[in-house]
Amino acid sequence: MKPAYVADLAADQTVTTFFLVTEKEVRSTQNGKLYLRLELGDRTGTVEARMWDHFEDSAAMIARDDFVKIQGRVEIYRGKKQVMLDRLRKAETTEVDQEDFYACTGEDVDQLWARLRELAESVRDPWLNQLLAAILDDADISPRMRRAPAAKSMHHAFLGGLLEHVISLCELCEVVAARYPETNRDLLLTGGILHDIGKVYELSYDRSLGYTNVGQLLGHIVIAVELIGRKVSEIPGFPEELSVLVKHLILSHHGQYDFGSPKLPMFREAVMLHYLDDLDSKMGAMRALYNSDKGEAEWTERSGALERRLLRVDKYLASEAAVAAGGPEQLTLDDLTSAENSKPAEKSAAKKAR
């Protein structure tokens, strides 16, 4: 176990520990002074770090995805923690335990994968069943999907997060399809399984979470549509109309142009997929917020994904109950009326006493 994690850092703390470099760049101030900016991470999160003096030799020796040993002081800048580095060097892999640096799903990956295969095999439409098998059996895709995160930071941003998110979404699809029997369950479930399949190539996750070059240039939606097109072309006789519907599910699952969706959802299952994916994504983001100790006693820190802070309802109710239990006895309307009527008698008695 390393000496300190990102989650342990506190203002004015002097810290010596190991981190993973997730971003690295040399920047310049408005006055032209150069400095080294790093984003450092471990399994508990990331923190920005800066080195202002004598950083050139250290910067030349390290790169993104390197382990480093740092010494510095924690400061608060614009409400966020930041490490001002005094010393920095590249660390050898023998100096660190890699499990300290990678947040992973708490679920059993083998069981998650078995559940995904079970869901895929339950699709009765023979064409969609073949398409799903062709993708999930792919020797390059399957190991990537077992490891990939669902995002860099927004939701399910940990190893195995994509698999966890897809299964959760598919099980939501099952429930909702049963509630609305007019739904084409096979089409909806296929969309759930494949909607984020492009993320296995969009994201990099060998060490730090980031984006690949193809991910930066194309994005997971385009990658997925191209992948599905290739797999469909390898299945003789695959209906063109069905291929178009599957591709539309992928192209429209973000729901709005402002959210990066090339098309708006234009049939029942596409609309359902968008809202269910949005729900599961937001629930994943909220779970991460609630599991973090950042923020105030009853409030989480602000989430960029949700654009708000969240109330910790259990703590709020507990504090309100404590106030009620320890506060003054509550007066009823009858108590107040009785007290008001007694005032003239009290005043008369006071006059006699004088």
pLDDT digits (tens, 9 = 90+) for 41-51: 888 888 999 99
**Residue 313 covered by a domain:** no
Range of the domain at 65: 6-100
DSSP codes of every residue in 164-228: HHHHHHHHHHHHHHHHSTTS-HHHHHHHHHHTTTTHHHHEE-SSS-EE-HHHHHT-HHHHHHHHH
**Residue 332 covered by a domain:** no
Helix, strand, coil % in the chain, rounded to nearest 5: 50, 20, 35
Residue 90 shares a structural domain with residue 126 = no
Q: What's the confidence (pLDDT) of residue 153?
A: 65
Among residues 291, 321, 342, the one where a domain terminates is 291
Full-model pTM: 0.74
Domain count, the chain: 2
Residue 219 shares a structural domain with residue 186 = yes
Residue 72 shares a structural domain with residue 169 = no
Residue 58 shares a structural domain with residue 96 = yes
Residue 70 shares a structural domain with residue 167 = no
Among residues 100, 132, 163, the one where a domain terminates is 100
**Residue 50 covered by a domain:** yes
Query: What CATH number is associated with residue 83?
Result: 2.40.50.140
Q: What's the confidence (pLDDT) of residue 347?
A: 45
Give the residue-averaged pLDDT of 25-47: 90
Among residues 264, 291, 318, the one where a domain terminates is 291
Residue 77 shares a structural domain with residue 147 = no
Q: How far is CA 66 from each of CA 48, 63, 185, 256, rounded to the nearest angstrom?
A: 15, 6, 46, 38
Residue 214 shares a structural domain with residue 77 = no
Residue 189 shares a structural domain with residue 137 = yes
- The residue type of 102 is Y
Q: Among 119-133, 142-156, 323-337, where is mean pLDDT lowest?
A: 323-337
Residue 94 shares a structural domain with residue 114 = no
Residue 153 shares a structural domain with residue 237 = yes
**How do residues 90-131 score in pLDDT, each as one tens digit?**
998 889 887 788 778 888 899 999 999 999 999 999 999 999
pLDDT at 332 over 80: no
Q: What's the confidence (pLDDT) of residue 335?
A: 54
Residue 181 shares a structural domain with residue 283 = yes
